Amino acid sequence: MTTSKTPLLDHIPTPQELRKLQPGQLKQVAEELRRETIDAVSVTGGHLGAGLGVVELTVALHYVFNTPDDRIIWDVGHQTYPHKILTGRRDRIRTLRMGGGLSGFTKRAESEYDAFGAGHSSTSISAGLGMAIARDLAGGDNHVVAVIGDSSMSAGMAYEALNNAGALDSRLIVILNDNDMSIAPPTGAMSAYLARLVSGGAYRSIRDAAKQLASHLPRFIYDKARKAEEFSRSFITGGTMFEELGFYYVGPIDGHNLDHLLPVLMNVRDKDDGPVLVHVVTQKGKGYAPAEAADDKYHGVVKFDVETGKQFKPKANAPSYTGVFAKALIAEAEHDDKIVAITAAMPSGTGLDAFGKHFPSRTFDVAIAEQHAVTFAAGLACEGYKPFCALYSTFLQRGYDQVVHDVAIQHLPVRFAIDRAGLVGADGPTHAGAFDIAYLGCLPGMVVMAAADEAELMHMVSTAVAYEEGPIAFRYPRGEGVGVELPERGEVLEIGKGRILREGSKVALLTLGTRLADAMKAAEELENYGVSTTVADARFAKPVDRDLLRRLAANHEVLIAVEEGSIGGFGAQVFQALSDDGLLDGTRGAFKFRSMILPDAYIDHDKHEMMLAKAMLDSKAMVAKALELLGDEKGAARVMIA
């Protein structure tokens, strides 16, 4: 008979069962929950370190608060694997980030325990305050808890929310999960005792009584007494800033010690007035030696061996686009000392960790602050430097006002390196770079490029270095390149000029970015149907190559523009150009134009190739579209069901 490694956890399908246990049993629950989290992620891959750091906190929150009636908002969502295990999803935890499986982030449609969806950071306090005010307006009495950590407090939005929450004085609990560098380190038993003391009702009652007494004293004595009380508490805890914003501050406390966590959380739960912030210090990767020893604390992992921690990374057939970008930028920076690089808390994700090793004084990680990153880059550009602002497509969205107001309007030559463009597989819709072509292409003076392969990416880096007339952006996807030969250094491309890779006479496939490889495959398949096909790489979404468009329109019956982007992007630019030139007026007989774009829907996480198939953007879909436009609807149908 096999003995279960998780005997307590096996009997806790939901937090209701957890709350039936004695406090002394929770340490074992936490140990089993940590073991189950490690084992599950070893099978699926995903975010590991952040979740391991909040195991005890997760147990304590669901034990103390009446979830899901009490709302817990996790910021960011990638630390919620233990939360998912405790909230009715353990039987599916080994489907994390897989097609049809659990999301790697919180998702409202997935569970009533996921109070707010969060793939990005720094949103929890704003959302929590909204829920708290809604509760007050409705006359409710449930609790709202925002857990913010993993550097999320570095974003300005968090402080905007704190400021507003302090002013509104609604009952809101914020847990600061301090897991990178303690704002103030916990000092063991004394710190825990003081945190428990100042969070308790007795201390608050005495404090309020003292305030009432002091208010009858002369003003200058009252002010000095008030400041002395605040100083003594803040000197111990380090909470001056939060107190000034209107929060009652408690902490710091050891986030891995349930004997410390439980009484403090119970005290703040029972506090019936105003916002409170509990400062909890945790260790990312806690309880798993390989994660604790790693520089990134196993932030994101592929499948791995639990005993050794060795990750099973498949051998790459080609370098990653991110790595090629870093290589190209380093090569350019060796020849140009005006090049500087900026990222927002993602140095390894954007490749700027490699750039930083070569040029530490020219590399700037501004933390999770994309708005600041963009305007910081604008300031550098004002003074003659060549800033490369390297951000994920979906993260750049958060700095869009700054792109418009601080960069584009002033025609400043800021270079935007847009990683994770297009669909991103396991990270799903929160991280899918669907909109950058549309939201950048509509800005006057903005140049937008998209790399079809890794050599093209190197050329686009060189082009961005040389371009001084205004802002320029280049997008590239997650993952490996296609395996083309790489130059030592990129070539400067002519702005707004595409290229033809294959000549045909009947159908023209005009692609932007990495849809090129599938277009070449589609052209081969179309030849089997007797359809002569041209394949062209636009290179530029803006400005579009009008000469190329006229040539394709004049010499083909069908022109199809293909992009891994949303409506309003490259296809819209092509349509506008064709319309402006009168090429859609019907004077040329049978000429037809269509664009293939991402559907008007969010595509759930899956393997990249499966997502492309769902989006109807793979080679099969291109063949079917071409046959359909040529009138062979039966052939198109056969292609799609094959």
> Which residues are part of a known binding site?
78, 119-121, 150, 179, 288, 370
| Token couple for 184 | 């103030």
Q: How far apart are CA 418 and CA 476, in angstroms?
A: 6
- Nearest alpha-carbon partner for 323 in 519, 112, 477: 477
Question: Is 231 in a helix, a strand, or coil?
Answer: helix
Question: Do 511 and 537 touch, CB atoms closer than 8 A?
Answer: yes
Question: Do 119 and 428 touch, CB atoms closer than 8 A?
Answer: yes
Residue-by-residue DSSP string for 271-318: --SS-EEEEEE--TTTT-HHHHHSTTTTSEE-SB-TTT--B-PPPPSS
Q: What DSSP designation does 262 have?
A: H
Cα 598 to the chain's mean position, in Å?
Answer: 19
Annotated catalytic sites, by residue? 284, 370, 398
Cα torsion 452, 457, 458, 464 to 10°: value is: 130
User: Which H helix or E strand runs over 415?
Assistant: strand 415-419
Report the sign of the C-alpha dihedral through residues 66, 67, 70, 74, in that order: positive
Show Cβ contacts of residue 303 under 8 Å, excluding neighbours closer than 6 positions.
42, 43, 44, 45, 311, 312
Q: What DSSP designation does 480 have?
A: B
State the burial class of residue 273 (Cβ atoms within 10 Å of its Cβ: 0-12, 13-18, 19+).
exposed
Parallel/antiparallel/unpaired status of strands 540-542 and 447-450: antiparallel
Binding site as annotated, residues for thiamine diphosphate: 78, 119-121, 179, 288, 370
Binding site as annotated, residues for Mg(2+): 150, 179
Question: Is 252 in a helix, a strand, or coil?
Answer: strand
Residues 308-316: contacts with CB within 8 Å, 24+ apart? Answer: 316/480
